[in-house]
Amino acid sequence: MIVVAAVALIALAVAGGLVREVLRADQGTERMQNIARAVQEGAAAYLTRQFRTLAIFVVVIPFLLLLLPGETDVRIGRSIFFVVGAVFSALTGFMGMWLAVRGNVRVAAAARDTGEKRAMRIAFRTGGVAGMFTVGLGLLGAAVVVFLYQGDAPGVLEGFGFGAALLAMFMRVGGGIFTKAADVGADLVGKVEQGIPEDDPRNAATIADNVGDNVGDCAGMAADLFESYAVMLVASLILGKVAFGEQGLIFPLIVPMIGVVTAIIGIFVTGLRDRDRSGMSAINRSFFISAAISAVLVAAAAFWYLPDSFGALSGSAVKSDADPRLIAIGAVLIGLVLASAIQLLTGYFTETNRRPVREIGESSATGPATVILAGISVGLESAVYSALIIAGAVYGAFLLGFGNVTIALFAVALAGTGLLTTVGVIVSMDTFGPVSDNAQGIAEMSGDVEGEGARVLTSLDAVGNTTKAITKGIAIATAVLAATALFGAFRTAVESQLAQTSSFSLSIDQPNVLVGLVVGAAVVFLFAGLAIMAVGRAAMRVVFEVRDQFRNNPGIMDGSVKPEYGRVVDICTRDSLRELATPGLLAVMTPIAVGFAFGYAPLGAFLAGAIACGTLMAVFLANSGGAWDNAKKLVEDGHHGGKGSEAHAATVIGDTVGDPFKDTAGPAINPLIKVMNLVALLVAPSVVLYAGNAALRVGVTVFALAVVVGAIVVSKRRSATSEPANNHKREQTPVAS
C-alpha cells in the first residue's frame, strides 16, 4: 500500500518536474505573449467562475449523502471523500489547463525558433503534466481510502468516485458548451459570412475560441479522464474484495501503479526521430511501448502477488478451480487489446486518407446536405463497430469467469484497469491537442510565425485532432467497463437490503423493467439533445455579438481597430455556466426518480439502457464530428476544388454541425453514464428499504421530476425571452454576407 502511495507521489513529483521544464522554455515575441496572456486570463476567469458555481454542489451533496442509510463511519467517510474526489477532479483539470495555457505560446515559440522536435517535445510534456496529475491523484485517493477504511473501503470509494464523476461531468458539459459556442460562432461569422481565415485577429471570437480549447478540450477532458480512472478503480476495488478477498483490494491498485511507471516511461520516450513521418508516429510508438511494458509487468506482478488457486486467497468467498493469476493476466490483456483496437478503429473512421472520410469528401460534390448525410451514416456505422469491440471485450472478460458471475464481473473491472494503464499517455496525447491547436492560433493571430514554423504547427495541430478522437473512444470504453462492473456493486447493495423472500433479478421480460430500460436510453437522447441545443443557443449569441462588432466598428475589418475579444469571452462564460445546470440535474435526478417510482429492478435496467444507448450515441457523435472535421481538411488540402470552392463551403457546414457533436454532447456522455451509475448505487439501498413507504416514494419522485422538468422549462423560457431581441436587432440591420 505504501509503495502504491509512493508511486502516486512520484507521479506528482514528475508532474512538478515537467512543469519546471515547460516553464523554462522561451515565450516568443511580445505580441505572442500578449495573446497568450489574454487566453490565460479568459481561461482562468472561466474556471474560477465555474468552480464558484459548482461549489454549491460540493457543499450540499455531502450533507445529502449523510441521509443515506448505513454505518455512520462509512457515511461520514463517503461524504468527506466525495469532496476529495470533486476537488481532485477539479485540480486535475485546473493544473492541466494552467500549464496548457502557458505551454501553448512556448510551443509556438519553439516552432518558430528551434524546429519541430523541440515544439513537439514541449507540447507533449505539457500534456504529460495532466497525465501525471490524473494517475497520481487517482491512485493516491484510492490508496488512502483503502488504507484508512480497509474492509469498509467500498462504501467510501463510492463517494470518491461520485465526487470525481459529478465534477468531471459539469466540467465536460460547461467547457464543451463554452468551446463550441465560441468555435461555431467564430466560424459562422468569420469563415462563412466574412470569408476570413480561422484564428484571424479581426474576428472578435478568436480569443474565446482559444480559451474554449483550454477549458473544454483540456480542463474538461483531464477531469473526465481522472474521473474514468477513479471510477474504474472504485469499481474494481469493490468487486475485488468480493472475488479475490484481501488480495482483491490490493491487486487493482498494483495494475494502475504499473501504469504510472509505464506512463512516465512513455512520456519520456516520446520524441521525434528523423525517420518519423509525423508526430503521430512518435505518439503511437510511445503508446504501444508503454502498453507492451504494462502487459509484461502486470503478468510478473500477478505471478508474484497472487496465489495459484482461489482456495489460497484469504477472504474470498468464491469457489472455482480456475487459476486467479491467469484470470487476472487475461483480463488486463483484454483491456490492453481493447485500447489498441479502439485506437486503430477510430483512426480508420476519422483519418483523412481512409475511405470513410474520403467518401464524405466526395459527397461534397452535391452540397452540404449530402455531406451531413454521409457523416451521419459514417458515424452511426462506426459507433456499431466500436460498441461491438467493447461488447466483445466484456464478453471475453465474462468468459474468464468460467460461469461464475462474481469472477466475471471482477474480470470486467480488471480489463478496465488494464485499459487504464495507458491513461497517463492517453491524457498526455489528448492535452497535446488543445496545446498545439492554441499554439497555431497564437502564431496565426500574432503573425510572428511564418514559413517552416507555421508548417510545423499545422502538422502538430492535425496530429492533435487524431489523438483527441482516440481519447474519446478510450473514455467511452472505460465507461462501459466501469458501468458493467458496477452492476456487481449494485447487486450487492440491493441484496443486502432485500428481505430473504425475494431474490435479485433484473429480468427484462417484466414490462416494468423494460420500461426502466427505455427510460435509461431516453435520458441519453435527452442529454445529447439538450447539450446540442445549448451550444446552438450560445453560438447564436456569439454570432450576433461578432456581427454587431463588425457592423458598429468598420475599423475592425481593415485591421486598424482591435475587436473587443473580452465581450465574447464573457458571453461564452455566462451562457455555458447557465446552460450546464439542466443536463447536470438530469443526470443526478433521473436515477433517483426511476428508483423511487418504479423500484430497484427498473432502476438497474435504466442503467443498462443508458449504457447501451450511451455507448452508441457517444461514439456516433464523436466519430461523425471527427470525420466531418477531417473531410474539411481533405478539401482544404486541395481535393474536390480546395479552399473557397463550394465543396469547401459544404464541408465547413459539416464541420460546424460536428463541433457540438464531438466536443460537447459526445464526450459528456462518458461522465453522464458514470454519474447515473453512482447515483443509482448510492440510492439503491434506500430504494429497497423504503419500497413499502408510498408517501416517501411519491415525495422523492415528485421532487426529483420537478427539479428536472423545472430546469428544462427554465432553460427553454430563457431561449424564448432572449432570442427574439437578438433576432429583432438582426432584422433591423442586415449584414451583407
Residues 192-231 that bind a second copy (CB under 8 A): 192
Distance CA 659, CA 661 (A): 5
Told to check if 490 binds a second copy by CB under 8 A, we report yes
Pick 192 or 557: Cβ nearer a second copy: 192
Closest distance between a second copy and the C-beta of residue 563, in Å? 19
The CA-to-CA distance between both ends of the chain, in Å, stands at 64
CA 334/CA 411 separation, integer angstroms: 9
To the nearest whole angstrom, how small is the minimum distance from the Cβ of residue 246 to a second copy?
24
Contacts with a second copy: how many residues (CB under 8 A)? 95
Nearer to a second copy, 562 or 717 (CB): 717
Query: 57 or 349, CB closer to a second copy?
Result: 349
CB 141 within 8 A of CB 88: yes
Of the residues 127, 660, 666, 685, which one makes contact with a second copy according to CB under 8 A? 660
Dist CA 235 CA 335 (whole Å): 15
Q: What is the CA radius of gyration of the chain?
A: 25
| Residues 556 and 567: beta-carbon distance below 8 Å | no
Q: How far is residue 60's CA from residue 290's CA, in Å, rounded to a whole number?
A: 41
Q: Tell me whether residue 507 or residue 560 sits nearer to a second copy (CB atom).
A: 507
- 543/571 Cα distance (integer angstroms): 11
Q: Which three cell numbers, joined as nine digits, stand for 72?
A: 455512520
Site string for a second copy, 400-419 (x = CB under 8 A): -x---x--xx--x-------
Q: Does 510 help bind a second copy (rule: CB under 8 A)?
A: yes
**Distances from the Cα of 340 to the Cαs of 288, 334, 386, 390, in angstroms?**
8, 10, 12, 12
Residue 307: exposed, middle, or buried by beta-carbon count in 10 A (0-12, 13-18, 19+)? Answer: middle
Q: Of the two residues 274 and 509, which places its CB atom closer to a second copy in the complex?
A: 509
- Binding residue for a second copy, selected from 484, 573, 576, 715, defined by CB under 8 A: 484
Residue from 200, 276, 637, 723 binding a second copy (CB under 8 A)? 723
CB of 611 to a second copy, least distance (A): 7
Q: Which of residues 306-325 bind a second copy (CB under 8 A)?
A: none
Q: 451 or 734, CB closer to a second copy?
A: 734
- Of 299, 395, 548, 718, the residue at the interface with a second copy (CB under 8 A) is 395
Distance CA 559, CA 200 (A): 10
Asked whether position 573 contacts a second copy by CB under 8 A, the answer is: no
Confirm or reject binding of residue 387 to a second copy (CB under 8 A).
yes
173 forms part of the interface with a second copy (CB under 8 A)? no
Residues numbered 631 to 650 that lie near a second copy (CB under 8 A) are 646
Between 150 and 737, name the residue whose CB sits nearer to a second copy.
Answer: 737
The DSSP annotation for 86-101 comes to: HHHHHHHHHHHHHHHH
* DSSP string covering 164-227: HHHHHHHHHHHHHHHHHHHHHHHHIIIIIII-PPTT-TTSTTHHHHHHHIIIIIIIIHHHHHHH
The interface with a second copy within residues 338-377 (CB under 8 A) comprises: 355, 359, 362-363, 365-370, 372-374, 376-377
536 binds a second copy (CB under 8 A): yes
Q: Which is nearer to a second copy, 491 or 674 (CB)?
A: 491
Query: Are the beta carbons of 473 and 342 closer than 8 angstroms?
Result: yes
Q: Which of residues 416-475 bind a second copy (CB under 8 A)?
A: none
Provide the mask over 598-617, with x wherever binding to a second copy is found by CB under 8 A and - wherever it is not. x-----xx--xx-xxx-xx-
Contacts of 435 (CB under 8 A, 6+ apart): 100, 103, 104, 107, 123, 126, 127, 218, 464
C-alpha cell, 227:
474521473
Contact between 179 and a second copy by CB under 8 A: the answer reads no
Q: Give the shortest CB-552-to-a second copy separation in angstroms.
A: 18
- Our finding on whether 551 is near a second copy (CB under 8 A) is no
Between residues 173 and 456, which has the closer beta carbon with respect to a second copy? 173
276 binds a second copy (CB under 8 A): no
C-alpha cell at 436: 498545439
Among 526, 557, 689, 707, binds a second copy (CB under 8 A): 526
Our CB check for a second copy shows the closer of 408 and 445 to be 408
Are 203 and 427 in contact by the 8 Å Cβ rule? The answer is no
